[in-house]
Amino acid sequence: MAGSGKRRPLDCSPPHELTSNTPFSSQTSKKRKMLVNETNSQASSGPSYGVFLSFRGPDTRHGFTDCLYHDLVDAGIHVFRDDESLRVGERISDELLQAIENSKIYIPIFSKNYAASHWCLRELAHMVDCTSKSNENKKILPIFLDVEPDDVKLKTKLYKRALSKHRRKFCIEAVESWKKALIEVDEIKGWNLKKDQG
């Protein structure tokens, strides 16, 4: 199930699967070198990105996501983040989907307006699809930033409203695949964070 209990204060350290056994902890130099070596060997044998960050830009780009991105890069992890990883003139839709396919770990950062973006939902559905076909070689590590797992699970109005609006613009099959992806990802243990704590 998704993370439960108290929310932790905002911390910009990389998720523990990428760094240590303790969530959002500092790294020793030795562990960081081991992580970089492991990530590099995994990347050379397949995916061209260690991590794909999925986020709603206006909610988190210049705060939490930016901090997390730089910490991951500083740890030697090749990270896809849409504003720096695409070259001018490339088709965003194809390039985003290719980056998802070529990534090992997916970190969707669920925020208040994440579900309002059809791009975020499309990315999420593709992440779930790639993970299910990967024979457990890919992972999704969700972060719930100023939202509750119940919002993502569609038990509250927050994400339900966004999906209702999408139903007016997009085909029912697309919206249903986004809904299914939200519910499926919520079943994965993640981190609950609040921007104003700490």
Active-site residues, by number, are 123
b/e code 142-165 from CB counts within 10 Å (16+ = b): bbbbbbbbebbbbeeebbeebbee
CA distances to 93, 96, 139, 177, 182 from 173, in Å: 18, 20, 25, 6, 14
CB 102 within 8 A of CB 78: no
CB 184 within 8 A of CB 154: no
Radius of gyration over every alpha carbon of the chain, rounded to an integer in angstroms: 16
Among the listed residues 160, 59, 156, 161, the one whose alpha carbon sits nearest the alpha carbon of residue 114: 59
- Structure tokens belonging to residue 66: 């930016």
